[in-house]
Amino acid sequence: MKYVYYPGCSASGTSKEAEESLQAAMKALGVEWTELEDWNCCGAAVAIGTSYLLSIALPARNLALAERAESDLVTGCSRCFMNLIRAAHYTRKNARVREEVNELLAETGVQYSGKGRLRHLLDVIINDVGLDVVAERVTRPLDGLRVAPYYGCCQGMWTYAQFDSVEDPHCFDQLLATLGAEVVDYPLKTACCGGTLSMSRRSVGANLIGDLLAAAGDADCIVTACPLCLFNLNSFQGEAGRIKGTHFNIPVLFLTQVMGMAFGLPKKALGLQRNAVPVDGLYEKIAAGAAVSSAAAGASRPR
Amino acid sequence: MAEDKSEAKIGVYICHCGSNIAGTVDVEEVTGFAQEQGPVAVARNYKFMCSEPGQALIKKDIEDLGLDGVVVAACSPRMHEPTFRRVCEAAGLNPYRLDMCNIREQCSWVHKNGATEKAKALISAAISRACYLEPLERREVPVAPAALVVGGGIAGIQAALKVADAGRKVYLVEREPSIGGHMIQLDKTFPTLDCSACILTPKMAAVKAHPNIELMTYSEVVDVQGYVGNFKATIRRKPRYVDESLCTGCGICWEKCPWKAESEFDCGLGQRKAIYTPFPQAVPNVPVIDPEHCVYILRDGKCGACLKFCERGAIDFSQTEKMVEVEVGAIIVATGYDVFDPSAMTRYGYTRFPNVITSLEFERLCNATGPTGGHIVVNGQEPKSVGIIHCVGSRDRKYHEYCSRVCCMYALKFAHLIREKIEGANVYQFYIDMRCYGKGFEEFYQRAGSEGVTFIRGRPAQVTDLAINEQEQGKLVVVSENTLVGAVMRVPVDMVILCPAMEPRADARDVARLFNLSQSADGFLLERHAKLEPVATANDGVFVVGCVQGPKDIPDTVAQALAGAAEALALIDKGKVELEAATAVVDEAACSGCKICLPLCPYTAITFNEAEKQALINEALCKGCGVCVAACPAAAIVARHFTDQQILAEVEALLVDARPATAEV
Amino acid sequence: MVVPSDNYEPRIVGFLCNWCAYQGADLAGTSRMAYAPNVRIVRVMCTGRIDPTFVLKAFSSGADGVIIAGCHPGDCHYSEGNYKTTRRIAFLRKLLAQMGIDGERFRLEWVSAGEGAKWAQIADEMSAAVKEKGPLAWRENLKEA
Amino acid sequence: MGAQVSTVEKPWTLQTPEHVLASRDLVGNDFSLCYQCGLCTGSCRTAYAMKYTPRQIMNLLQLGREDEAVASGSGLLCTACYSCMFRCPRGVAVTDLMGAIQRLSLHQKHADPHIQRFYRAFMRTVERHGRFHEAEFLVRYYAVNPLRLRSEFRLGLMLLTKGKVVLKAPKVKSQKGIAAMFRKAAEIEGRP
């Protein structure tokens, strides 16, 4: 399978750990791809507030580049994924939008015809690589680690519709279970983290983040499939705690970080030192969990 | 052609249909246009051509001018062709000399511009065709004096009883082991609150006792042949493994049967045995053995408890499926509806939370014969607060666009029943619009309101067990905007009742095909006319009644059932039907005997005369589809009323404005 | 050669079966779904009745497009007339292609009695597509050739 | 909408080119399909903070009172999570309509200055570099508002110490072309 990879802006900046771990984990799985050459920002949740046309044309340029490369376009950022697929949807659906978008794209010397396939990282891992291959790579199962998968929102309509149930997705659960983790189901797993509101309207953004952190309850950590959510859930725990009248200190990791942990990759390669809420405690929990499970295995061994 | 046309005398009648046509089509201009056409002797327009004076106009012209063809440009022929055929006949013109030209449904109602031009083209085509229309004679055949009723719910029961009461034989076929349908599962019925079983069981008993009704439960119609007045239906009778003629319904067999399964009748809330009647008042009161749970069947004769205990020796494992054929003049289809499965809407937590239930499940919980003996209990407790969510799967493009019509009312009934059975219970109605349109409905709405029910206008976004405060601990929280306040509310409750849509049966498409019917866009079976022929269908002699045609409550269902019975009786009692005259006929001189047509006919109406080497069409069997006509390489088969000549003339004239005058050679 | 004028309106002949498509077109009417007035309907009992000569006649009489609409496969009032149509049409399509009439001018569609909206959409699409292609003027062009 | 609750005091005429409300012709006037069930609002995580809930915004559009919807600033709270649009039982493109209202609120300066600056700063870095550039964004966003910078001290410190602020600007070869896309978009949409 031929892929071009679209990192997106947060992965190369505020959520560097996502990008670092993603590269490491994919390499471990033997997935080969090339970075989409000359990619640009998809407009995040900001372009739509500025210009309708740009909110379509910015992501469409990346689609056009991928179309030219004749490969599936993969991204590990749910917000980017949503913007990209939304751009594909509206350029296909509306002839005038298509015309105007291409008029814009002509400025950078590309055209978008609506072809080409867009893939989410989870989709590639589960459906192309396969959970059996993931399982083979696991050397340090996440025994006893209670993980709350955070699917995130914007994915609902656009992302999961492509390969999972929209309102009640389970692909992430399957992946985490394959890594040996105990999956914590909680009601807000597909609720929005507030996106850029954490910057533009802190009180509202932090309130939403607080709801999510509280809902994940007694999980040892939260794992996200989106670098933007990763940044939000990590960076504003103090503020969220103040609003909710409590204190949050729950590690939030990117999905390839936990994959890398289970694959036994070095911490540094996974950018684990970069997570705002320290994650070191998780290794201790895994070790304790491993001890319990091997003891249990020993006890049940026939004499 | 030209000579023919000039000889014909055609009258053209253009209807205004009030402003329905005249508001868009310039009827004066069109009349002028028609007047100029060669074969047209007279062209008139009138406000309502179908009215008495309108009909009189046509009649007078036929008589005075000796017209030999009539074109009525008005509504769809599906609407008034019979009317104007009668007019022609009354005036002494063969009814097949009429051509209807549809300038309403297919012109004035759908075009803003260009309607007048299109009307001219359509009328020109009709005039042209009318020149070639030939007189045809319809033949009469006797009607089989019996009716087949398919489905034994309230609709089928009511229809069967009425036809039988009129002295006609009825075959009532029901798929389940007992008649009763969904209605027998209900507890009370709105708005009068009579007990559903109390009003239905006497009718069920009457069906069983009626000398004119042959009841076939646990049976399905698998094939229908023939035509109006003369249908042949094949019915598959599944083996009950219990001899109906011997069984007394004493119940010892199911008492002794050691094997259990979920009760379909109780929506899986309770259990039944492997040999069972679905409910105590079942008709017939004869059990069936469920082969999927009976160990005697599953494991070659291990068990046999029922065999041992049945004193009458009614248990008969040697029974096999039987096919029965019946001949009937009319068919009434009353196969009912399914309840939408709300587990597809994960946001409401159906199946995830045991205390989220459907309305039908609630009916069983509330019912004295139900699994809890009529106590409203979920999770082992009586709920002190209940949220009722309306429109689950209804009024929603993702599921069903239509309104299911009964939910508002039964939701009010639920509120009443809950308040009656549980002291001080809080009931919240989450509704979008309260639709209480029937007789006594608004009064019932008022009554429920006065009994202390809270109405929250909004479609809930989710049902969650995530508590955000003390009050919500251990509860289900219904999250919804209260649209009248403009704020999102969180309402903690002990139980949630979903009001799922009434949807077409899962096999509605198969049923439609079996009886040669159409489905409307929502999947329910299509009636011939939404207002004026609510139970007749496109297939003459087949009628649809009850929820198979669309969601409706019990009073409407009963009314429709009686309408269906009246239609069937009108057909049967007349004793004869006129056969369509527009059949195909072989021109013996032209037939080359190639036999291409023989296998094409779906009704095996074409036979081959080996002696003469000629095909022959049996007019009683031919339905006039014309497949053989189009296939005949010798053009030896003529489709009466749709001859090549008629259609080609129609097509040519339809494009009257397309050809520059010079192009005519 | 016929030169298309600016306000060219194509003429399209529709052969519709009585049981499904014709009823669907009626439903579009009772539901007041506005659509382009270019399609003129000829009612036949079944699409199985449609002789290829009808279609050729329409084109030679000046139609710019022809559409045949009947019951969905499996739903034919006469059980399988529409299957026969399908086969016959495949042949006709080849013939028309040789005569220079392509698929955009000649369509076969399934429209049930409940699909008024679908009929309106088809009529609109077909009108727009044929308008885009311009007049066929088949007979005139053949004469010139 | 009663005058006493209205945010807009003077009648507001739609002078913005229709492109700004582009989602409108994308989806037709499909807000007219809204039957006010409130499922969008119930599904919206930020509705609690809005002056008008998404459902009410749809109603304002139906009433031809875009002005009121725009002036209320409720659209600025939309995170474009698409829950409302996904669930809408009438197929209304709620999220895209909220986006249109958000754009109008920003263009007409109905938003807090710092929110406007946030959007401007973000888009400006994308325009200049083709990609988002944290360092430049932070400067643009906070430079004129040092008070705010102080409140963000902890966040900034975290980002710096965790090595998340890249000082070097991203390099996109087609940077000039992308800037031209911005100009072209403004031209087509008739924005200054």
Contact, B269 vs B333, CB < 8 A?
no
Residue B590 host element (H or E): none
Q: What CATH fold (topology level) applies to the domain B138-237+321-336+505-575?
A: FAD/NAD(P)-binding domain (3.50.50)
Q: Which residue has the higher pLDDT, B516 or B568?
A: B568
Confidence of residue B479 (pLDDT cuts 50, 70, 90): very high
Q: What CATH fold (topology level) applies to the domain A130-293?
A: Rossmann fold (3.40.50)
Closest CA to B20 of B87, B114, B115, B99: B115
Instruction: Quickly list DSSP for B466-494.
Output: --SSGGGTTSEEEEEEETTTTEEEEEEES
Which chain A residue has its CA at the smallest distance from D49's CA? A204
Please indicate if any CB of chain B lies within 8 Å of the CB of A12.
no
Q: Which residue has the higher pLDDT, C144 or A128?
A: A128
User: Could you give the CA distance from residue A166 to residue A161 in angstroms, rounded to a whole number?
Assistant: 5
User: Could you give the CA distance from residue C48 to residue C59 in angstroms, rounded to a whole number?
Assistant: 19
Of D42, D55, D91, Cβ closest to residue B460: D42
Give Dmax (Cα) for chain A: 76
Alpha-carbon Rg for chain C, nearest whole angstrom, is: 15
Please indicate if any CB of chain A lies within 8 Å of the CB of B472.
no
- The CATH architecture annotation of domain B239-320 reads 2-Layer Sandwich (3.30)
For B409-439, write each residue's pLDDT tens digit.
999 999 999 999 999 999 999 999 999 999 9
Closest CA to D97 of D41, D1, D30: D30
User: Could you give the CA distance from residue A66 to residue D85 in angstroms, rounded to a whole number?
Assistant: 28
Q: Tell me, letter by letter, the H, E, C secondary structure of B182-211.
A: CHHHCCEECCCCEEHHHHHHHHHHHHHHCC
User: Could you give the CA distance from residue B293 to residue B242 in angstroms, rounded to a whole number?
Assistant: 15
Does the beta-carbon distance from D79 to A43 stay under 8 Å? no
Check pLDDT > 60 for residue B43: yes
Find residue B456's DSSP bridge partners.
Answer: B430
Plot region of B495 (φ>0 → left; ψ -120 to 50 → alpha; else → beta): beta
Residue B651 host element (H or E): helix B644-654
User: Could you give the CA distance from residue B240 to residue B261 in angstroms, rounded to a whole number?
Assistant: 17
Q: Domain spanning B340-502 has what CATH number?
A: 3.50.50.60
User: Could you give the CA distance from residue B211 to residue B178 in angstroms, rounded to a whole number?
Assistant: 18
**DSSP structure class, residue A289:** H
Q: Write down how long chain D is.
A: 192
User: Could you give the CA distance from residue B639 to residue B298 in angstroms, rounded to a whole number?
Assistant: 57
pLDDT of residue B169: 98
User: Could you give the CA distance from residue B227 to residue B329 in angstroms, rounded to a whole number?
Assistant: 8
Q: Which residues have C-beta within 8 Å of that of residue B114, sequence separation ≥ 6?
A: C9, C37, C38
How many other C-beta atoms lie within 10 A of the C-beta of residue A201? 22
Check pLDDT > 80 for residue A157: no
Q: Domain spanning B584-640 has what CATH number?
A: 3.30.70.20
Find residue A118's DSSP bridge partners.
Answer: A73
What value does the mean pLDDT of chain B take? 94
Question: Residue A83 is encoded by which pair of tokens?
Answer: 């913007």
- The CATH architecture annotation of domain C12-136 reads 3-Layer(aba) Sandwich (3.40)
Question: Residue B449 is encoded by which pair of tokens?
Answer: 């309101």
Of B347, B432, B482, Cβ closest to residue D35: B432
Which chain B residue has its CA at the smallest distance from A168's CA? B346
Residue A155: C-alpha distances to residues A176, A189, B324 (Å): 18, 11, 56
Does the beta-carbon distance from A165 to B347 stay under 8 Å? no
Neighbours of chain D (3+ CB pairs under 8 A): A, B
Domain boundaries, chain A: 3-120, 130-293
Mean per-residue pLDDT for C78-104? 87
Check pLDDT > 50 for residue A151: yes
Question: Residue A163 is encoded by which pair of tokens?
Answer: 């390969």
Mean per-residue pLDDT for B629-649? 94
Question: Residue B139 is encoded by which pair of tokens?
Answer: 């033949």
Please indicate if any CB of chain B lies within 8 Å of the CB of A188.
yes
**DSSP structure class, residue A11:** H
Mean per-residue pLDDT for D68-92? 91
Which residue type occupies C76?
C
Q: Domain spanning D18-106 has what CATH number?
A: 1.10.1060.10
Neighbours of chain C (3+ CB pairs under 8 A): B
Contact, A55 vs A83, CB < 8 A?
yes
Maximum average pLDDT range among B334-348, C88-102, D29-43:
B334-348
Share of chain B above pLDDT 90, in %: 88
Residue A75 host element (H or E): strand A72-75
Contact residues, C window 43-102, toward B, CB-based 8 Å cutoff: 43-46, 48-51, 53-54, 57-58, 61-63, 74-75, 77-81, 84, 88
Which chain B residue has its CA at the smallest distance from D85's CA? B398
pLDDT of residue D7: 58
For B267-308, write each residue's pLDDT tens digit.
999 999 999 999 999 999 999 999 999 999 999 888 999 999
Does the beta-carbon distance from C113 to B538 stay under 8 Å? yes
How many other C-beta atoms lie within 10 A of the C-beta of residue B560? 27
Check pLDDT > 90 for residue A224: yes
Contact residues, A window 183-242, toward D, CB-based 8 Å cutoff: 191-192, 194-197, 199-201, 204, 208, 211, 235, 238
Is the domain A3-120 a CATH 1.20.1250.20 member? no
Which chain C residue has its CA at the smallest distance from B104's CA? C29
Task: Residue B526: list chain C partners with CB under 8 A.
Answer: 113-114
Check pLDDT > 90 for residue B529: no
Q: Where are the beta strands (DSSP E) in B198-262?
A: 213-216, 219-227, 230-237, 260-262
Of B347, B395, B481, Cβ closest to residue D41: B481
Q: What are the φ/ψ torsions at residue B585 (nearest 5 degrees)?
A: -140, 145
| Whole-complex ipTM | 0.83
Q: Tell me if there are at least 3 CB pairs under 8 Å linking chains C and D.
A: no
User: Could you give the CA distance from residue A16 to residue A272 in angstroms, rounded to a whole number?
Assistant: 10
Quick one: CA dihedral A256, A257, A258, A260, positive or negative? positive
Task: Residue D39: list chain B partners with CB under 8 A.
Answer: 458-461, 481
Instruction: Quickly list DSSP for B32-69.
Output: HHHHHSTTEEEEEEES-TTSHHHHHHHHHHHHHH--SE
For B89-138, write each residue's pLDDT tens digit.
999 999 999 999 999 999 999 998 999 999 999 999 999 999 999 999 98
Residue A33 host element (H or E): strand A33-35
Half-sphere exposure of D44 (CA within 13 A, CB side): 33
Alpha helix stretches (DSSP H) within B423-481: 441-450
Does the beta-carbon distance from B466 to A188 stay under 8 Å? yes
Burial (Cβ within 10 Å: 0-12, 13-18, ≥19) of residue A280: exposed
Q: What are the φ/ψ torsions at residue B499 (nearest 5 degrees)?
A: -105, 85
**DSSP structure class, residue B394:** S
Q: What are the φ/ψ torsions at residue B520 (nearest 5 degrees)?
A: -80, 175
Residue B628 host element (H or E): helix B627-631
What are the residues of chain D with a beta carbon less than 8 Å away from any beta carbon of chain B? 35-39, 41-44, 47-48, 52-53, 55-56, 87-91
Check pLDDT > 60 for residue D9: no
Share of chain A above pLDDT 70, in %: 95
Does the beta-carbon distance from D42 to B487 stay under 8 Å? no
Contact, D39 vs B459, CB < 8 A?
yes
How many other C-beta atoms lie within 10 A of the C-beta of residue B301? 10
Distance spanning both ends of chain B, measured CA to CA: 14
Contact, B114 vs B30, CB < 8 A?
no
**DSSP structure class, residue B172:** E
Mean per-residue pLDDT for B237-247? 95
User: Could you give the CA distance from residue D66 to residue D63 in angstroms, rounded to a whole number?
Assistant: 8
Share of chain B above pLDDT 70, in %: 98
Contact, A254 vs A248, CB < 8 A?
no
- Boundaries of CATH 1.10.1060.10 in chain D? 18-106
pLDDT of residue C3: 46
Mean per-residue pLDDT for B310-314? 94
